[in-house]
Chains A and B, each alone.
Chain A
Amino acid sequence: MRDPAELLVAAAEGDRSAWDELESRFGPRMWAVARACGLSPSDAADAVQGAWLRLLQHFHTIREPAAVGGWLMTTVRREALLMLRKQRPGVTSLEIVEEPDPESAVLEADGRRLLWKTVSTLHEPCRSLLQLVAIDLGNQQMAARLGLPVGSVGPTKARCLEKLRTLISAQETAQ
């Protein structure tokens, strides 16, 4: 399996299979980043496509080819934020930055494993609730599955996410 830097160089030289492999490796996470920014499916599709088009024009200017994944996440997030800002008059920028995006670290494969591991250490109802949140179950169905009043699902979800955030932050600090 080729590493990201090799894939980037090969794609820049015209190797379509390398491009496809970059898409396989990073496309799902780019989608998750765009959706995490709050974009609709159609706008998220635009943001992801925009990031790929930018990569075509930056093959030779990416400072750290090994970090092309981080570059793509940062770029898709930036495109997403531009789209959101355009809906309101305000500051926009077409500048592309190459710094890693710390917020998307939780979307990295290691970050996701850590996240699930941490979810599994939570007490009930948080453990089950977050698993149900992950599959986008509505509040009514969640209330029925968890045996909670519907009105308490929202506040409980907020408390569980806060616990998760505290635990993840503590683990990141310890690393």
Chain B
Amino acid sequence: MINDEYFLAALRLASGNDPVPGHVSAAARDAFGLRVPGAVTAAPAECAAPGGVRDGQGSHLVRFVTAGLTFDLEVTIGDGLIDVAGHVFPYPGEGAVIDVRTPHLTLSRRIANTGDFAATGLPPGWLSVVCHRPGHQPVQTRWVRIRP
């Protein structure tokens, strides 16, 4: 069953009305710069609610897991920006670096020997974290959308 909205979208597309905005195309092209060659992707853990759990204080708690590495992210939205307090375990070792990434801004952080890291003042939207460990493939979390 095809609904009317699909017909209307197809008619608009064919007529050239409602074309994809230039900034949307540009963002899609720029996204290629976020490719991490050879990375392993950590999926949201089944025990966590997909898309995150709100803890009642405006924070999203999200867990991502892959073989050998788990990320817990607490994402807080305030004043239109997002802060990330993260924990990666087991401790990935000396020299490991975390990149907290959005399409517009990447912040690199050293990891404390407790496995904790933090990044603040990120723009809302899509977010992913990558762990670079010497001698290992990078591990990236699946992209998650964070909006107020």
Q: Does B2 sit at the interface, judged by CB under 8 A?
A: yes
Beta-carbon contact of B32 and A11 below 8 Å: yes
Beta-carbon contact of A106 and B143 below 8 Å: no
Q: Does A152 sit at the interface, judged by CB under 8 A?
A: no
Beta-carbon contact of B20 and A161 below 8 Å: no
Beta-carbon contact of A92 and B20 below 8 Å: no
Q: Does B123 sit at the interface, judged by CB under 8 A?
A: no
What residues of A have a CB within 8 angstroms of the CB of B115 in the complex?
none
How far is A169 from B48 in the complex, measured between Cα atoms in Å?
42
Beta-carbon contact of B10 and A111 below 8 Å: yes
Could you tell me which residues of chain A, from 64 to 118, have a CB within 8 Å of some CB in chain B? 79, 82-83, 86, 92-94, 102-104, 106-107, 111-113, 115-116
Q: Does B50 sit at the interface, judged by CB under 8 A?
A: yes
Return the CB mask of B105-131 against A: 1 if under 8 Å, else 0. 000000000000000000001101000
Beta-carbon contact of B28 and A52 below 8 Å: yes
Indicate the size class of the contact surface on chain B.
35 or more
B67 to chain A, nearest CB (A): 15
Q: Contact check: which of B27, B34, B41 meets A45 at CB < 8 Å?
A: B27
Beta-carbon contact of A53 and B126 below 8 Å: yes
How far is A102 from B6 in the complex, measured between Cα atoms in Å?
11
Beta-carbon contact of A50 and B3 below 8 Å: no
Q: Contact check: which of B9, B17, B29 meets A33 at CB < 8 Å?
A: B9
On chain A, the number of residues with a Cβ less than 8 Å from chain B's Cβ atoms is: 59
Beta-carbon contact of B21 and A41 below 8 Å: yes
If the complex has contacts A46-B126, A115-B7, are A94 and B44 also in contact, measured as CB distance less than 8 A?
Answer: yes
B140 to chain A, nearest CB (A): 7
Q: Does B47 sit at the interface, judged by CB under 8 A?
A: no
What residues of A have a CB within 8 angstroms of the CB of B9 in the complex?
32-33, 35-36, 107
Beta-carbon contact of A23 and B6 below 8 Å: no
Q: Does A56 sit at the interface, judged by CB under 8 A?
A: yes
What residues of B have a CB within 8 angstroms of the CB of A11 in the complex?
32
If the complex has contacts A19-B29, A94-B50, are A165 and B15 also in contact, measured as CB distance less than 8 A?
Answer: no
Beta-carbon contact of A92 and B34 below 8 Å: no
- Residue of B10, B17, B27, B128 with most chain A CB atoms under a 10 A cut-off: B10
Q: Does B11 sit at the interface, judged by CB under 8 A?
A: yes
If the complex has contacts A28-B20, A32-B12, A45-B27, are A165 and B2 also in contact, measured as CB distance less than 8 A?
Answer: yes
How far is A111 from B11 in the complex, measured between Cα atoms in Å?
10
B37 to chain A, nearest CB (A): 7
A169 nearest in chain B by CB position: B2
Beta-carbon contact of A54 and B143 below 8 Å: yes
If the complex has contacts A106-B6, A107-B13, are A23 and B29 also in contact, measured as CB distance less than 8 A?
Answer: yes
Can you spell out 7 A-B residue pairs with CB atoms less than 8 angstroms apart? A32-B12, A35-B9, A53-B34, A107-B10, A111-B10, A134-B8, A135-B15
